A and B are shown apart, each in its own frame.
Chain A
């Protein structure tokens, strides 16, 4: 189903990159804290799992220091590397209210037990 948005961590982005032939799905869901805003891009800090650069939409309003869940397409960045082109985001408030370790476990579990979470391939 085209509506699936696998939950990922920064380390998994390459697997959803358009150039990777193993999957045709590039839309992912990632959770993190907005740690930098630079006009048309932002940096999402994902607990201890690293950072991701988000390419913003003109009408997207991420707020500094907030926990957000971003849904977006994995894409190449102009300055090199892989980032996410934002499609939608949900503000989840204070990062202190979220135990990021649980999210990391969720990501691991969802990718181990594909049969109940995501179609393996389309």
Chain B
């Protein structure tokens, strides 16, 4: 464990300049910066969205990952009708329309897998591609499901696709739209709590409640008001983390959850407003308000 940390230390120290120095805060910094970087690579969350959401996605700063409902949307999937297919030498460009908008999808042609049939690592892909090719190949005006990442070139937004496959069952299209709605509600209103699940927008409730079940399971007996996922994480940490009756400081929470301070501050405000936590020795130290 120690040696692992040290390794990180040197590499980060080299680039950051402050590596050799301080003792006490090092673990906190360790938690913060590397996991921030790692998050981008390890966040394999595949989020179902609508094309309108893809077009409305924002970047917190240029070159940053796209965010939808202020949650990172590293990989996305959506279903729409193929309006146009144009095959070029390096990529296939699809125009996809799902009724909420239209977006271009580029799938790069992997020349190595196309050229050499013998490449071991590609073999499974090859076979799958060949046997399923005619069946799952998207056709113009047919529905297709796209898995990929949001990109932009100049001012034009497009999707770099890992996979584009035809959808033959219309129910899959509808379920996808409901899923996108449920996930949107999850990120904006938080997981549905049992009492409130009846109020969720009609369609999403089933999926919502089950998602909530996972996160909610340690939130104790009392039903929490609807809150953002970050606020919920902060609340759960405050509940479970051993602490004195002074509660926990926002910095410590940020370190424990590997979250940036502004996010924790915002979550704190949300929880304070909701009246489920209170500030103790100073404005940045919070404890659960139990009654």
Chain A contact residues, CB within 8 Å of chain B? 1, 3-7, 29, 31, 67, 69, 88, 90, 92, 97-99, 102-103, 105-106, 108-110, 112-113, 115-119
Contacts and interface: CB of A to CB of B under 8 A. Distances in A.
A116 to B, nearest CB: 5
B281 interface: no
Ranked nearest first, the 10 interchain pairs of A and B with the lowest CB-CB distance are: A109-B203, A105-B203, A112-B201, A102-B174, A3-B102, A106-B174, A109-B181, A5-B99, A117-B100, A92-B170
Given A102-B178, A109-B202, A3 B170 contact: no
A3 B101 contact: yes
Interface string B214-258: 000000000000000000000000000000000000000000000
B119 interface: no
B75 interface: no
- How would you classify the secondary structure of chain B's contact residues: helix, strand, loop or mixed? helix
Interface in B177-217: 177-178, 180-181, 184-185, 201-204
B171 A99 contact: yes
Q: How large is the interface on B (under 10, 10 to 19, 20 to 34, 35 or more residues)?
A: 20 to 34
Contact of A1 (B49, B101, B142): B101
B166 to A, nearest CB: 13
B181 to A, nearest CB: 5
Contacts of A117: 50, 52, 99-100, 177, 181
A61 B103 CA distance: 28
Interface string B46-77: 00011011010000000000000000000000
B172 to A, nearest CB: 10
Contacts of A116: 49-50, 52-53, 100, 180-181, 184
Contacts of A119: 52
A34 B155 CA distance: 42
Nearest to A110: B177
B9 to A, nearest CB: 43
Interface of B: 49-50, 52-53, 55, 81, 97, 99-102, 141-143, 169-171, 174-175, 177-178, 180-181, 184-185, 201-204
B141 A90 contact: yes
Given A105-B178, A109-B204, A113-B181, A1 B99 contact: no
Contacts of A103: 174
Nearest to A108: B202
B169 A90 contact: no
B96 to A, nearest CB: 11
Given A109-B201, A116-B49, A117-B181, 5 more contacts: A3-B97, A4-B100, A108-B201, A109-B202, A117-B177
Nearest to B176: A106
Contacts of B185: 113
22 contacts: A1-B52, A1-B102, A3-B97, A3-B101, A3-B102, A4-B52, A6-B99, A29-B99, A90-B141, A90-B142, A97-B171, A98-B171, A102-B175, A106-B178, A106-B203, A112-B201, A113-B204, A116-B50, A116-B184, A117-B52, A117-B99, A117-B181
A115 B169 CA distance: 26
Contact of A4 (B99, B170, B184, B202): B99
**Which of A4, A29, A108: most chain B Cβ within 10 A?**
A4
